[in-house]
């Protein structure tokens, strides 16, 4: 079995990729790798707090590696930091890196170029799955997630902070991808078959920043 590092965004697609990979006889997921906004100490683009990310990794039963990105971050800086991460993975005997990309060929091509020559093979366990069917399969199988970031030019701003569920799918405009693959929305996955337990959280402040709308999520102690 290949030792695999999973690119982990904290969202539903990376969580589902973990679920799929754990059903494979050819891959063993040995860790999660997340890029962070170093200034805010939050997951890049998803804006999820580190404390919730740590809870996810614990519920998944996997070690977490984070890569801090400066903000703003140039492509050159990003690639240098990810090259360092790849060298660290190689030193741990990791043979492949998994990504939860669905159908954007330019994104896949970029990842393949960046890993070329590193000794780490890119794999795409969700690639090509019809996203309408995939979204409903996730929901029916018990995956639970909330929208933490949306692009208000693509979907209504009031959807930020809502659940990723059938009601959300019915409210998306016909131009929006059901999984948000074109950047319509990003999520935090807090429950599902890939976790040993749910990650308790509650919605917090909603803010607009740099053309996006973000809904903060606060960790909720199980003792509360």
Q: What is the DSSP string of 17-79?
A: HHHHHTT-SSEEEEEEEEEEETTTTEETTT--BHHHHHHHHHHHT--EEEEEE-SS--HHHHH
Domains of the chain: 2-123 (3.40.50.620), 131-219 (no CATH)
Three-class SS of residue 84?
helix
Has residue 87 got a pLDDT over 60? yes
Query: What mean pLDDT, rounded, does the chain reach?
Result: 95
- By CB atoms closer than 10 A (0-12, 13-18, 19+), residue 113 is exposed
Cα 224 from chain centroid? 27
pLDDT of residue 224: 37
Q: What is the mean pLDDT of residues 194-222?
A: 92
Percentage of residues in the chain with pLDDT exceeding 90? Answer: 90
Three-class SS of residue 97?
strand
- The strand ranges marked E within 89-167 are 96-98, 121-123, 144-150
Mention every residue, 6+ apart, whose C-beta is less than 8 A from residue 177: 131, 184
Q: What is the mean pLDDT of residues 75-100?
A: 93
Give dist(CA 111, CA 123) in Å, integer.
Answer: 10
Has residue 180 got a pLDDT over 90? yes
pLDDT of residue 221: 64
**pLDDT tier for residue 72 given thresholds of 50, 70 and 90:** confident
Entry pTM: 0.95
Has residue 202 got a pLDDT over 60? yes
């Amino acid at each position: 079995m290949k030792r695999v590092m999973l690119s982990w965004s904290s969202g539903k697609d990376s969580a589902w990729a973990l679920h799929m990979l754990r059903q494979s006889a050819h891959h063993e997921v040995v860790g999660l790798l997340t890029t962070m906004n170093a200034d805010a100490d939050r997951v890049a683009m998803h804006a999820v707090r580190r404390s919730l990310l740590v809870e996810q990794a614990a519920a998944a039963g996997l070690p977490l590696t984070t890569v801090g990105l400066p903000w703003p971050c140039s492509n050159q800086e990003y690639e240098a930091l990810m090259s360092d991460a790849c060298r660290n993975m190689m030193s741990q005997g990791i043979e492949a890196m998994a990504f939860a990309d669905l159908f954007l060929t330019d994104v896949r091509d970029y990842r393949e170029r960046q890993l070329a020559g590193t000794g780490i093979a890119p794999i795409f366990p969700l690639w090509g799955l019809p996203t309408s069917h995939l979204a409903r399969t996730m929901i029916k199988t018990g995956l639970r997630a909330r929208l933490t970031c949306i692009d208000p030019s693509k979907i209504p701003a009031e959807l930020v902070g809502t659940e990723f569920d059938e009601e959300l799918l019915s409210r998306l405009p016909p131009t929006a991808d059901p999984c948000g693959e074109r950047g319509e929305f990003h999520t935090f996955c807090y429950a599902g078959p890939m976790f040993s337990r749910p990650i308790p959280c509650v919605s917090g402040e909603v803010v607009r920043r740099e053309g996006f709308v973000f809904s903060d999520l606060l960790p909720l102690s199980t003792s509360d």
